[in-house]
Amino acid sequence: MRKIFGLRHDLPVSFYVIDFWFRRILRQNAGVTWAVHHTSTVHSPEKIVRGKWVFPGDSQNVYINAKNGISIGDYTNIGPGVGIISANHDFINNEAHSVTGPIVIGRHCWFGMGSVVLPGVVLGDFTIVGAGSIVTKSFEEGYCVLAGNPAKVIKQLNRSECDAFAQSKV
């Protein structure tokens, strides 16, 4: 029988038990006040404002740097391997970070596996970011599907259908 961190590998172990072990005992992501997957990293969690049912980093291998602030609207999902980076290194002094605006993410957004959001981006409600996409600029109007590198709108969503869905969640 294989053991990982003293736990039997063949038994189901609660996500929250593993979360407790890594955050409270090993001090990984210790400042985060919500459950985070043990393979994810959240820097400056105190600068993250999150809406209802939003748990940044609960998927595997998520990297979040909130040094310049991140706001995430209600019911937004962040898939595995996503990077949300609100600060960049200064071009000349790599020990300093550039100051840009915060990242603002609307309600009911969804980030596919391996997508990346760069500093200062603003995304409106119901923005879907396709797997592997790199979002380098804002799409404040929302109600769209983004894909590619750099990300661009590949589909517009029906605003009235989206709003009706949002009303059903209230």
3-state helix, strand, coil in the chain (%, to 5): 15, 30, 60
- Rounded to the nearest 10°, the torsion over CA 52, 127, 66, 135 is 170
Complete DSSP assignment for 60-129: TT-EEE-TT-EEE-TT-EE-TT-EEE---B-SS-TTSB---PPEEE-TT-EE-TT-EE-TT-EE-TTEEE
Q: What angle do CA 147, 131, 94 make, to 5 degrees?
A: 90
User: Given 37, 89, 97, 108, which residue is catalytic?
Assistant: 89
Instruction: Based on the residue annotation, tell me whether 89 is a catalytic residue of this protein.
Output: yes
SS3 assignment, position 16: helix
Cβ neighbors of 88 (< 8 A, separation 6 or more) are: 97, 98, 100, 118, 119
Catalytic residue positions, numbered: 89
